[in-house]
Structure 1
Amino acid sequence: MFRILKSPVPAGFPASYGSSSPRGPSPDAALTRRQRARAVRLFLARHRRLLAALSVAGALGCVLVTLRPAPPHTVPVLVAARDLDTGAVPGPADVRVARYPPGNAPEHVLRRHADTQGRALAAAVRRGEPITDLRLVGPQLRGEPGGVALPVRFADADAVRLLRPGDRVDVLAGPVPDDASRAGVPRDGPPPARVVARGATVLARPAGEQERGGGLLILSVPPDVAAAIAGAATMSPLTYTLRGTPK
C-alpha cells in the first residue's frame, strides 16, 4: 500500500495553506480590520471639534458664494495710455481699453483700438483721459496730398472757438500800413483786407489756455500758401470767413 505524504507548510504562511477546502478569513485578518475601524473611531472622536468647525466653515463658504452680488456692469472706454500731442496718430501702444460704469462713460466715447486707426488727434490728451469722436480728425481731414499743417493764430479768440475740425475757411489779413497812413494822411475809406488763403481746411483747434492773445488753429494748406500766411501774420492781424463744412 502507498501512503500519501503531506508536504510541510512553509514558515509564515497560514495553517490553511495548501488545503483544498475553502475557508473564511483568518483570525489575524479579522483582527486587523477591527483595529482599523477602532483607529478611525478614535480619530473622529479626538478631532470631532475640528471636523465640526471645518463643516461649518464649508457651509458658510457656500452661503457667501450664493449671496455674493454679481460684479457691476461696465462698458469699454478707450483712454490714452500716455500723454499725446496734437496731431499725433495714436497707435496700439498709445491707447488702452478701460472699464467704466455705464453712467460714467462720456458720450460718443471710442471703445476699440481700431477706432483710432489712421486718425490724428485734434487736441492734446493726458494719460488716462477718455478719447471721444471729437478728439480725432478723420483721414479725410488730414489735408490734401502735398499739403502741410500750419499753426495759425487769429486775432479774435471768440471767432476761433466757432470752428471745428473739417471746416473750410478763407484767411484774411489786415492791410499793410503804407507811407501815407504812416504819415497820417487821411484816406477816403478804410483800407480793405486782403485774402491770403482760400479754402484752407481746419485740422485742429488746440485746447487749453492761450498764453498770447487770439486763438490758434491748425490749417491744412499748400506749401506756397503756408508761406503767404506766415508772412502776412508777421505784419497784420488775421481773421477768416467760413466757407462751410464738408458733407
Structure 2
Amino acid sequence: MDILPKLRALHLTRLQSRRTRLIRRWLALGLLVLGGLLLVHPGSARGAPTVLAAHDLPSGATLRAADVRVADLPDETRPMGVLSTLDAVDGRLLAGAVRAGEPLTDVRLATVPDPGDPGTATVPVRLADVAIAELLRPGQRVDVVAAPEPAAPASASVLASGATVVTIGHREPSALKGPLVLLRLPEASATRVAAISLERPVTVTLR
C-alpha cells in the first residue's frame, strides 16, 4: 500500500526537475538573444558616438579616415569636449600625440589659419636649434628670429611676429639642424623669412 505514494512523489520530483531544466534553457536563450541585440544596437546600451584614435598618432599629424574610428561609450566615460563625428576631425591637425583608443577632444586639435586666407603664405623653415623644434606644437604662435649679420654680430633681428606653426617635420638622426617647420604668416613677412633663412641661421621664440 506504500508503493503508490512513493511513485507519485517520484513522478512529481521528475516533473519539477524537467520544469527547472526548461526554465534554465529559456533563460539561457533569452540572454543569448539579448546579447545579439546589444551587438546589433550598441548605441542604445553603451552610450553616445565617440571618436577614438585608431592607432598611435604623432603631434602634428593630419587626421584621415584611417586614423580614427567611432565607438559608443557610456556618458560617464566620455571626457568634456569629446568629438562625435568623423567630419569634425577629417583633415585637422593634432596639437599633441595621442595613443590608440584615446578619445579625441576639441583641445587635441590645433587651430591653424586657413591656407586659403588671402594675404598669408606658408614657409618651410629649418630651425638652427634642434631642442626648440621639439617644444613646438601645431597652432602655436611664435616669433621668427634670425642670427646676427656678420657685419653686425651684436644684433639679432626679428623677421616675423606672431607666425603660426602649421606642422613639424621629423628630424633625421644624421641632421645637424632641427626638423623642417612649416610656418603660416603674412606674405610680406613670409618672403623675408624664406630669403633670410637661406643665408643665416633662424630660430623662433615661444609666445
Normalised to the residue count of structure 2, the TM-score between the two structures is 0.57
Q: Per-residue displacement from partner, 1:202-244 (whole Å, max 9, x unpaired)?
A: 23345x65543325432112344333223322232212234x4
Equivalence for 1:49 = none
In the alignment, does 2:126 pair up with 1:153? yes
Distance change >3 Å, CA 155–CA 104, structure 1 → 2: farther
1:88–1:121 contact (8 Å) kept in structure 2: yes
1:81–1:93 contact (8 Å) kept in structure 2: yes
In the alignment, does 2:147 pair up with 1:174? yes
2:164–2:185 contact (8 Å) kept in structure 1: yes
In the alignment, does 2:187 pair up with 1:232? no
Equivalence for 1:203 = 166
Shift in Å at residue 196 of structure 1?
2.0
Shift in Å at residue 155 of structure 1?
2.4
1:194 to 141, 145, 157: 157
Shift in Å at residue 109 of structure 1?
4.6
Q: Which runs of 5+ in 1 are unaligned?
A: 1-53, 179-188
Shift in Å at residue 172 of structure 1?
0.9
1:155–1:215 contact (8 Å) kept in structure 2: no
Partners of 1:81 and 1:163 in 2: how far apart?
A: 24
1:120 to 67, 72, 92: 92
Distance change >3 Å, CA 103–CA 121, structure 1 → 2: same
Shift in Å at residue 79 of structure 1?
3.9
1:122–1:134 contact (8 Å) kept in structure 2: no
2:171–2:178 contact (8 Å) kept in structure 1: no
2:23 to 26, 34, 59: 59
Aligned partner of 1:141: which letter? P
Q: Which moved more, 1:63-72 or 1:140-149?
A: 63-72
Normalised to the residue count of structure 1, the TM-score between the two structures is 0.49
- RMSD in angstroms over aligned alpha carbons? 4.7
2:124–2:194 contact (8 Å) kept in structure 1: no
Q: Per-residue displacement from partner, 1:73-130 (whole Å, max 9, x unpaired)?
A: 466432467999957474x78743134688987886533224226x62147989x665
Distance change >3 Å, CA 59–CA 164, structure 1 → 2: same
Partners of 1:98 and 1:191 in 2: how far apart?
A: 58
2:164–2:183 contact (8 Å) kept in structure 1: yes
Number of residue equivalences: 179
1:171–1:195 contact (8 Å) kept in structure 2: yes
Instruction: Map residues 108-147 of structure 1 onto 2, 5 A cutoff.
Output: 109-116=82-89, 120-122=92-94, 130=102, 131-138=104-111, 141-142=113-114, 144-147=117-120
Matched position secondary structure for 2:26: helix
Q: Say which one has the larger Rg.
A: 1
